[in-house]
Amino acid sequence: MTSFETLGLSNPLLKAIDDMGFEEPTPVQSKVIPALLEQGTDLVALSQTGTGKTAAFGLPLLSLLDFNSRDTQALILCPTRELCMQIARDLKSFSEYIPEVNIAAIYGGANIRDQILEIQKGAQIIVGTPGRMIDMIQRKKVKLHPVKYVVLDEADEMLNMGFKEDLDTILSETPDEKNTWLFSATMPDEVLRISKNYMDHPVEITVGSRNSGNENIEHIYYGVRNHEKYAALKRIADYHQDIYAIVFCRTKIETQQVADRLIKDGYSADALHGDLSQAQRDHVMKRFRNKMVQMLVATDVAARGIDVNDVTHVINYNLPDELENYTHRSGRTARAGKKGISIALAGPQDVGKIRTIERILKRKFERGKLPSIKEVHEKQLLHIVKNVKEISIDEGRMTTILPEILQQLQDLDREELVSHFMSLELSRLPAIKPCSIDDPLSAFNTEDETDRVKLYINLGKYDNLDKRELLLFITKLTGVAGNDIVVSEVKNSFSFIKVKQEKLNAIMAGLKNRSFGKRPVRVEIRSNDAADFSALHERKYDSKYDSPARRDGKMGKRDGHTSFKRRSRQQSSYSNK
């Protein structure tokens, strides 16, 4: 068994780790810490959220920096305010017994003057979000030329949030001679591009399978129609009395509506989304961390960076539009070696998404059956029995009243006493009304789209194409019938389609050497896993056609120009060039 003592850490760090209650390193810590301490190297570490990545890079940093100097020697970039604050707190705890350590947390939604003062005191480590770091650079309040180490934490999330250009700007301010450590839960193409542009022969460490999920998470989906989702959510909460969950919705409006309905129906819930002020968000998160709220209903953006232990369930009220985000959602449970459950409320339109996520995770979902009203009541009674067994007895008060109680109940034997007591409790339980989820005929077939191949095509919304127009374009050039093609996602600068296996050759041949307007059409078969890291340097990216669009919705480069000019319908013709 590996211990922290065998990893080469200093005594002050070991003492702090012991004070924090850590007994043995996690798998990612066991692999990463020795690699960073023993060799000055760039690093790519693939590991799920909640596996101890902060300690994996934080402990080596605190071992390698010179704290007699007041220069900024390490820069840690992360996607959200919450994660920034959490990393800074953890580093301060790790460095409890190291003198002269100054760590500055730089993030939006807080007083920038106070943060500038923290930097000016001589912060050897800066933990920051990309947006606020850009602000500091533009104000010339931060000097990054002495930086020796750059950490990109949750790199895939930063790219998903549209921070690619900000990262490029920030990294350009740091010296060429530095070590870059990249930590990510998944390895999409954009992360590979960063590792190619900013890293030199990085060591790669993977904990678990590439792009796979946490092995301690059980993945379940319930086949329910859209109008049944709220009833299904309540049924799950009724059955799991000790639930401590994050419920993910797609929009801010839906998030607030679901939370309001739960509160109205007597559940312990609250909402977290972008329309709340920072003070409101902090208040909600404080209540959730203190377990004053059992169900936090949140959007993806608002929940990014949430680091809360003991979450029992992640519930996908809607599956994410970017399917890779399912990994980040589910990673909010089963943290620090514990087990957890990730649930998807899947409508008929979500069947293909479930299959795709299964291939990404390399794990099968269990199709669950929602508990019946009878099963819920039985589970609730057993929960009461558990509480009866575990309750602390007030000996002082019971001593005086217990003889009288025993006298009153002496005519009942043990079984009768339990039956009376449980019947009384059952009568007090909230009534559960039968609804359509209790009708077995409401279930639908989920075996669909399993024989389709996923394809990438470099056309999208910037080309004035929606799903219908893209489908017409493909069918006209290939001769393949529309019902053999599913246009699953249309993004700004590219799209994904799914075709039946037997039609794959016709699609590829029909689109080969074709153009849309003046731009060559490019189609690639996409497995549901990211490309091998070893293939990184074999890829060729044509800057004229492959400049990726920003995820934040701003125009990316297209056709070799700095801004994209929309074509008219007449210009958007396709040809045989």
What pLDDT was estimated at residue 443? 53
| Rg (alpha carbons) of the chain, rounded to whole number | 27
Residue 301 domain flag? no
CATH of the domain at 21: 3.40.50.300
Same domain, 35 and 97: yes
Same domain, 34 and 98: yes
CATH of the domain at 511: 3.30.70.330
One-letter amino acid for residue 397 of the chain = R
CA–CA separation, 251 and 175 (whole Å): 41
- pLDDT tens for 443-499 read 554 444 456 788 999 999 989 999 889 999 999 999 998 878 888 889 988 999 998
- pLDDT tens for 41-76 read 999 998 877 778 999 999 999 999 999 999 999 999
- pLDDT tens for 486-521 read 888 899 889 999 988 889 999 999 999 999 988 899
Range(s) of the domain holding residue 184: 4-206
Question: In the predicted model, is pLDDT for residue 567 greater than 60?
Answer: no
Residue 256 domain flag? no
CA–CA separation, 497 and 458 (whole Å): 11
Same domain, 444 and 556: no
- pLDDT tens for 143-182 read 999 999 999 999 988 887 889 899 999 999 999 999 999 9
Distances (CA, A) of 2 to 29, 126, 462: 10, 30, 52
Q: Give the 3-state secondary structure percentages of the chain, helix then strand then coil, rounded to 5.
A: 45, 15, 40
Residue 90 domain flag? yes
Same domain, 219 and 349: yes
Task: Tell me the pairing of strands 515-516 and 519-520.
Answer: antiparallel
Backbone CA torsion sign across 34, 324, 525, 190: negative
Specify whether the CB–CB gap between 360 and 224 falls below 8 A: no
- Overall number of domains in the chain: 3
Query: According to the per-residue pLDDT averaged within each range, which of 251-265, 547-561, 563-577 is highest?
Result: 251-265
Same domain, 411 and 490: no
Residue 290 domain flag? no
Q: Edge-to-edge strand order for the sheet containing 43-46?
A: 103-106, 125-128, 74-77, 149-152, 179-184, 43-46, 203-206
What pLDDT was estimated at residue 553? 39
Mapped onto helix, strand or coil, the DSSP state of residue 569 is: coil
Same domain, 23 and 163: yes
Residue 532 domain flag? yes
Specify whether the CB–CB gap between 163 and 79 falls below 8 A: yes
Specify whether the CB–CB gap between 55 and 93 falls below 8 A: no
Residue 508 domain flag? yes
The average pLDDT across 391-395 equals: 90
Residue in 64, 83, 71, 284 with CA at minimum distance from that of residue 181 = 64
Residue 299 domain flag? no
